[in-house]
Amino acid sequence: MKRSSASLAIGLAFTALILAAAGLSLVWTPYDAELILVEQRLMPPSAAHWFGTDQMGRDVLSMILGGARNSIAVALVAAGIGLGAGVPLGLFAAAQGGIVDEIVMRSNDLIFAFPALLLAILITAIAGPGAINAIVAIGIFNIPVFARLARGGALALWPRDFVRAARVAGKGRLRISLEHILPNIASVLIVQGTIQFSLGVLAEAGLSYVGLGAQPPAPSWGRMLAESQTYFALAPWLALAPGLAIVTTVLGLNMLGDGLRDLLDPRIRRERAI
Amino acid sequence: MTLLAIDRLSLAIGGKLILRSVSLTVAPGEILGLVGESGSGKSMTLNAIMRLGPPGTRTEGAIRFEGADLLAGPERAMESVRGRKIGMVFQEPMTALNPVQTIGRQVAECFRLHLGFGAREALAEAAERLRRAGLPPEIVPLDRYPHQLSGGQRQRVVVAIAAALGPKLILADEPTTALDATARGGIIDLLAGLARREGAGLVFVTHDLASIAGIADRIAFMKDGEVVEEGSAPSIFRSLRHPYAQSLLAASALPPIAPDEAAGGTEPIVEAVDVSVVYGGGVRAVDGVSLTLMSGESLAIVGESGSGKSTLARSVLGLEPLAAGTVRIAGTDIHRASGGALRAARAAIQAVFQDPYGSLNPRHRIERIVAEPLHLLGRIASAERRARIARALADVGLPPDGARRYPHEFSGGQRQRIAIARALISEPKVIVLDEAVSALDVTTRAQIVALLRELSRRRGLAYLFITHDLDAARAVANRVVVMRRGRVVEEGRTAAVLAQPHDPYTKELIAAAPDLETVLAAREAEARTR
Amino acid sequence: MVRFLAGRALALVITLLAATLVVFLVLNVVPGDPAAYMMGLGGDPAALAELRRELGLDLPVWQRYFAWAGGLAMGDFGVSYTYRVPVGDLILERMRVTLPLTLMAMALSTALAIPLALFAAGRRGRAADAAVSGLAQVGLAIPNFWLAILLVFVFSTTLKLFSAGGFPGWEAGVWPALKALVLPAVALALPQAAVLTRVARGALIETMGEDYIRTARAKGLSERRALRDHALRNAMIPVLTILGLQFTFLLAGGIIIENVFYLPGLGRLVFQAIAQRDLVVVQGVVIVLVFAAVLVTLAVDAAYALADPRVGKGRR
């Protein structure tokens, strides 16, 4: 009990920090994150540049703040795609059963059979790199995760007596799905939402690391890491700052998910895709 | 000489007091019945003896076993007592065995663990123990997995494990509660035999007086973590002093329904004709069953698990697709009707299910739960709606302010009242009661049965009462249908069928579930002839 | 059990067929004219026409699909447009790096995670458990390519124990080749070990709450022994699922790590092929990876059936 509330508190704090950073970057950053000042390149952390400057003299703190916005936006929208498409599919499959269920689940298996990262790379490669395509690529893989979770939860609820009672009361399957099933699986979905959110942050970082995420000059954590590699011996802060930013975000979201799960329902079993 | 002496045992879990100064003794070869309702602390007493309480358990007092205090020794010493000197049998045979190990291996483990036997030797001993528990290896091979056995057979495996090393004491925690009636007697005989023939002390925990009255030497009644009355059986049943023990005794025999009560009118409400339900794999769960329920009549459908009685109930409610046959509710075919006709039929037939904890959506307020069937009646003004909710709650004896609360704020019995209120609100002609009193404590069961009878009298309501509990059937229903393997094997007036059954299966069912009075009379007669 | 596995295999064959269709559509129909896509901007019209003929683009779509799928069934993956060698040979060659890397990472992650999970589950709620859980929580949050950068900095740039990248080839001897794979395998394995530890710990703790564990304790088994003899095998079922997913994830997840370490593996092959717009190679690698995923799923199902006698026998 105590540990889960600690998890919730830390998770909330980290998540709030990253969200605040992303929000702040919309209106203010210490320097223009895209401003190149070659004479100020590779400066170590100082009072003027808390996290130092990169090989082109850009302020790393400003880039981290801007990168937060990009990371959060991509992962959040991708998780939203998964929830928005996956949950109705899962509920529908569970409510209809039979051939409909079979088709929905087999399509899910099909998506799962593709190596996620590879297909994301493929999609961005064919459709062109960029934040929007990264969202689509990550979002597609969130759909079966939520569809499975919603279907599994719904299937466990359909034989329950309160659902039977609703059927005896003459309610249709669609209405029961909305009135009885959805509220009872909402907490599991919220928890999984935070997990897919955090996985999305990792995936976005991976895509932009290989140059397929947000395109320059927009700052992104993954690309900062890629660019830092050459200068690691010279300027280790360049690799540390974005790496720690990613870890903080993912850690915060995961701990938030853990805390929420214990808070909302101690009996929830969690499905975690990698 | 006493084998086990529990001396002023108090137990708290996370600061909450569960047992208050419990004192009990058991002699070798003696059978102690520990009786009480859920939450009385009887199972926790057994866990305390084994020192297998949940984490955060604190105890005070002493549990002396063969003179030594079990609570005082180190965990390692306790491990050599468990399974060797004290064996334990649990309630749920479906989950008490490891699903991925063979039954032979699970029994053999006792010999390997405590006596250091090799695999082959231990397996030979296991075979012998299983044979003595009524599972000879010629019939039930040692390499069977638990899922390949029936509930009664699994419970025999659990008994074989508990008795493997000839323990001095056997603790049995509701060992028959989860079993079908016809499997219960065998397990009770098996446990009693361990005490009578092998001289083990036996503590038999149960909520069901009839199951223990036939074998117990002494009975202790528990309530709220205390032993409130204790004495020798069977004489104690004739001289109970504590009001709780008296109420338990009174509630365990329900008053049978009068012959003219709920006898039924002239208008058929439910007509099921040649109904068959087939599950995947071709299992005929219900196989050509026909029955008719008249207005105001109360009909019980009895049978064991797998008899198809619940499937039949669901098909009558229109929830289960039929492979063949028709079901008409007040003249409307509920499986084929649509639109207004279907809504009218649905409003005429409502249901109450078994589990009071699972039949109410935990996220809805009571008013929303109770009002759910109202949408069958078309648009209703909100004042009228509130009035109807209040009336339904009043009908089942709940205060009107309950409407704004959530299910978890109510006890099991109150929840079942809420479920009944929901079934009443559309003013149906018939209510299907699917094991509606089976999950309740005996005193609650008696109250709900009384409420059901009153509602039927006042409103001329018909019931289709699905139950495995013959006593409840006798108390609620005027007519009874006995089902086995999807078919009807006998039907008639409840009093007549239960007094003079014709079908061998019905006879077996009745013999397997004697009421308390029958058991006591038999025991007293036996005592007199001795 | 045989019937159960045969049923699963059939479902997977259907998945595989559907996958070839999807891959074919995505790579041959979505780009419009694959030849134009592969040539890029400013392609010479004569060369474009030549490529079209080579790819068989003059045939109708469905004929091209059957020709390609038929070829696949015979083990013919086509000829790479950039390397001018059969794609099948190319994939086999690169597999010699990727497969050992994946297996090393899997072995490492499992060897780390299972003992840690047993350790933590046996001490649940105590400081040791909290430490393992906290470690796993952090491990989960570390991107493997960042870990790779840090590992290179510590073990090759600073300590000079390993080279920063490259692969000497198996011809240079088993030891130098394996040594080149150590850092990449560690970078891949640690985050996966974190996932596995969490899943295994959770499964073990849940299993320890089951009734049959209480039966085992009542028999006189100590908590640790009940964990080992009764909980472990039952808890393996969710762990197997994760292991299966991890294998396919690692096989493809090498893409980024192989790029960090300049390893000539499958991931680097497909990444370069995407950059060079060599759709024939991309198509081949994707199908191989999907095939591997399907095979692993089948293997996991078989392992289920071995671990749990109830699987595939009609009852759940």
Q: Is the dihedral of CA A248, A250, A253, A257 positive or negative?
A: negative
Sort out which chain A residues have CB atoms less than 8 A from C285's CB and list them: 118
pLDDT (tens digit, 9 = 90+) per residue, C87-132?
A: 899 999 999 999 999 999 999 999 999 999 999 988 888 899 999 9
The beta-carbon neighbor of B359 closest among A161, A183, A184 is A161
Sort out which chain B residues have CB atoms less than 8 A from A168's CB and list them: 317, 319, 346, 349-351, 373
Helix, strand, coil share of chain A (percent; to 5): 75, 0, 25
Looking up tokens 């296991």, which residue turns up? B126
Inter-residue contact A90 to A148 (CB < 8 Å): yes
pLDDT (tens digit, 9 = 90+) per residue, B211-260?
A: 899 899 999 999 999 999 999 988 898 889 999 999 988 888 888 888 77
Inter-residue contact C219 to B83 (CB < 8 Å): yes
Inter-residue contact B145 to C310 (CB < 8 Å): yes
Whether B80 has its CB under 8 Å from any CB of chain C: the answer is yes
Lowest-pLDDT choice from A72-86, B177-191, C295-309: C295-309
The CA distance from B309 to B305, in Å, is 8
DSSP notation for A171-202: --HHHHIIIIIHHHHHHHHHHHHHHHHHHHHH
Structural domain boundaries enclosing A267:
3-24+72-273
pLDDT of residue B348: 95
Describe the strand order of the beta sheet including B86-89 as a list of residue ranges: B86-89, B169-173, B201-206, B31-35, B218-223, B226-232
Phi first, then psi, for residue A217 (nearest 5°) are -85, 0
**Mutation site for A-interface testing, chosen from C146, C156, C279, C297 by largest number of A Cβ within 10 Å:** C146
Whether A173 has its CB under 8 Å from any CB of chain B: the answer is no
The CA-atom distances, in angstroms, between B235 and each of A22, B35, B230, B232, C114 are 79, 16, 11, 6, 59
Chain B: nearest CA to A99, how far in angstroms?
Answer: 14
- Taking CB atoms and an 8 Å limit, are B359 and A164 in contact across chains? yes
Residues 38-57 of chain A with CB under 8 A from chain C are: none
DSSP state of B489: E
Sort out which chain B residues have CB atoms less than 8 A from A154's CB and list them: none
Q: Which one is predicted more confidently, A248 or A215?
A: A248
Inter-residue contact B324 to B276 (CB < 8 Å): yes
Neighbours of chain C (3+ CB pairs under 8 A): A, B
pLDDT (tens digit, 9 = 90+) per residue, A94-126?
A: 998 888 888 888 888 888 777 777 777 777 777
- Taking CB atoms and an 8 Å limit, are C218 and B82 in contact across chains? yes
Residue A81 falls inside a structural domain = yes
Sort out which chain B residues have CB atoms less than 8 A from A161's CB and list them: 353-355, 358-359
Residues 67-106 of chain A with CB under 8 A from chain C are: 106
Inter-residue contact A138 to A72 (CB < 8 Å): no
Describe the strand order of the beta sheet including B324-329 as a list of residue ranges: B284-294, B268-278, B324-329, B332-333
Q: What is the mean pLDDT of chain B?
A: 92
Whether C216 has its CB under 8 Å from any CB of chain B: the answer is yes
Q: Which one is predicted more confidently, C294 or A87?
A: A87
State mean pLDDT over B34-38. Answer: 90
**Mutation site for C-interface testing, chosen from B100, B101, B125 by largest number of C Cβ within 10 Å:** B100
The beta-carbon neighbor of C218 closest among B76, B83, B95 is B83
Whether A167 has its CB under 8 Å from any CB of chain B: the answer is yes
DSSP state of C86: B
pLDDT of residue B335: 93
The CA distance from A110 to C19, in Å, is 7
Sort out which chain B residues have CB atoms less than 8 A from C217's CB and list them: 50, 52, 82
- Taking CB atoms and an 8 Å limit, are C215 and B147 in contact across chains? no
Token pair listed for B337: 């009707």
Q: What is the mean pLDDT of chain C?
A: 85
Domain extents in chain C: 87-275
The CA distance from A147 to A141, in Å, is 11
Looking up tokens 């004491």, which residue turns up? B169
Nearest CA in chain A to C143: A202
pLDDT of residue C30: 67
- Taking CB atoms and an 8 Å limit, are A160 and B354 in contact across chains? no
Neighbours of chain B (3+ CB pairs under 8 A): A, C
Whether B83 has its CB under 8 Å from any CB of chain A: the answer is no
* pLDDT at C313 exceeding the cut of 60: no
Whether B83 has its CB under 8 Å from any CB of chain C: the answer is yes
pLDDT of residue A271: 34
Chain C: nearest CA to B157, how far in angstroms?
Answer: 11
The beta-carbon neighbor of A117 closest among C137, C140, C252 is C252
Nearest CA in chain C to B170: C218
CATH at residue A199: 1.10.3720.10
Looking up tokens 């458990």, which residue turns up? C129
3-class DSSP state of B337: coil
* pLDDT at A266 exceeding the cut of 50: no
With 0-12 / 13-18 / 19 or more C-beta atoms within 10 angstroms meaning exposed / middle / buried, residue B72 is exposed
The CA-atom distances, in angstroms, between B474 and each of B255, B445, B447, B499, C244 are 8, 13, 15, 10, 56
The CA-atom distances, in angstroms, between B25 and each of B59, B169, B323 are 18, 12, 58
State mean pLDDT over B83-109. Answer: 93
- Domains for chain B: give ranges and CATH numbers: 4-98+172-251 (3.40.50.300), 268-495 (3.40.50.300)
pLDDT of residue C143: 92
Q: How many CB pairs under 8 A join B and C?
A: 77
The CA distance from C253 to C31, in Å, is 25
Number of domains in chain A: 1
The beta-carbon neighbor of C143 closest among A116, A121, A206 is A206
The CA distance from C204 to A42, in Å, is 49
Inter-residue contact B6 to B24 (CB < 8 Å): yes
Q: Which one is predicted more confidently, C279 or B78?
A: B78
Token pair listed for C150: 């840090």
- Taking CB atoms and an 8 Å limit, are A210 and C297 in contact across chains? no
Q: Show the CA angle centred on residue A42, arms to residues A38 and A48, nearest 5°.
A: 90
Inter-residue contact A169 to B375 (CB < 8 Å): yes
Task: Report the candidate in B379, B380, B417, B370 with the shortest Cα–Cα distance to residue B397.
Answer: B417
Residue A66 falls inside a structural domain = no
Neighbours of chain A (3+ CB pairs under 8 A): B, C
Q: How many CB pairs under 8 A join A and C?
A: 137
pLDDT of residue C277: 81
Nearest CA in chain B to C316: B147
- pLDDT band for position C31 (50/70/90)? low
The beta-carbon neighbor of C138 closest among A243, A251, A274 is A251
**Mutation site for C-interface testing, chosen from A103, A114, A238, A244 by largest number of C Cβ within 10 Å:** A114
Half-sphere CA count of B340, side-chain side, radius 13 A: 1
pLDDT (tens digit, 9 = 90+) per residue, C228-274?
A: 899 988 888 888 888 888 888 888 777 788 888 889 988 888 888 88
Token pair listed for B525: 């007669």
Inter-residue contact B316 to B345 (CB < 8 Å): no
* pLDDT at A269 exceeding the cut of 70: no
**In this structure, CATH architecture of domain C87-275:** Orthogonal Bundle (1.10)
Output the CA torsion B36→B41→B46→B49 (10° steps): -140
Inter-residue contact B5 to B25 (CB < 8 Å): yes
3-class DSSP state of B275: strand
Looking up tokens 């499992």, which residue turns up? C110
Chain C: nearest CA to A210, how far in angstroms?
Answer: 7
The CA distance from B128 to B122, in Å, is 10
**Cβ neighbours of residue B212 closer than 8 Å, sequence gap 6 or more:** B33, B35, B204, B206, B219, B233
Whether C113 has its CB under 8 Å from any CB of chain A: the answer is no
* pLDDT at C316 exceeding the cut of 90: no
With 0-12 / 13-18 / 19 or more C-beta atoms within 10 angstroms meaning exposed / middle / buried, residue A176 is buried
Inter-residue contact B425 to B392 (CB < 8 Å): yes
- Taking CB atoms and an 8 Å limit, are A167 and B361 in contact across chains? no
Chain centroid, CA B248 distance in Å:
16
Token pair listed for A93: 């499959």
* pLDDT at A11 exceeding the cut of 80: yes
Residues 130-149 of chain C with CB under 8 A from chain A are: 130, 137-138, 140-143, 145-146, 149
**Cβ neighbours of residue B255 closer than 8 Å, sequence gap 6 or more:** B475
Inter-residue contact C192 to C257 (CB < 8 Å): no
Whether B354 has its CB under 8 Å from any CB of chain A: the answer is yes
Whether C177 has its CB under 8 Å from any CB of chain A: the answer is no
User: DSSP H helical segments within chain C, as ranges?
Assistant: 2-28, 34-39, 45-55, 61-73, 87-122, 127-141, 144-151, 174-208, 211-219, 223-226, 232-260, 266-275, 279-307
Inter-residue contact A232 to A238 (CB < 8 Å): yes
pLDDT (tens digit, 9 = 90+) per residue, B303-349?
A: 988 899 999 999 999 999 999 999 999 999 999 998 899 999 999 99
The CA distance from B262 to B297, in Å, is 5
* pLDDT at C217 exceeding the cut of 70: yes
pLDDT of residue C307: 81
Give the predicted TM-score (pTM) of the model: 0.85
- Taking CB atoms and an 8 Å limit, are C313 and B52 in contact across chains? no
Q: Regarding beta strands B68-69 and B86-89, do their DSSP bridges make them parallel or antiparallel, or are they unpaired?
A: unpaired
Sort out which chain B residues have CB atoms less than 8 A from C308's CB and list them: 99-100
Inter-residue contact C218 to C265 (CB < 8 Å): no
Task: Report the candidate in B326, B167, B253, B155 with the shortest Cα–Cα distance to residue B513.
Answer: B253
Output the CA torsion C174→C175→C180→C182 (10° steps): 110
State mean pLDDT over B67-75. Answer: 91
Inter-residue contact C228 to C240 (CB < 8 Å): no
* pLDDT at A65 exceeding the cut of 70: yes
pLDDT of residue C312: 60
DSSP notation for A202-229: HHHHHHHHTT-SSPTTS--HHHHHHHHG
**Cβ neighbours of residue A153 closer than 8 Å, sequence gap 6 or more:** A90, A181, A184, A185, A188, A189
* pLDDT at A59 exceeding the cut of 50: yes
- Taking CB atoms and an 8 Å limit, are A171 and B350 in contact across chains? no
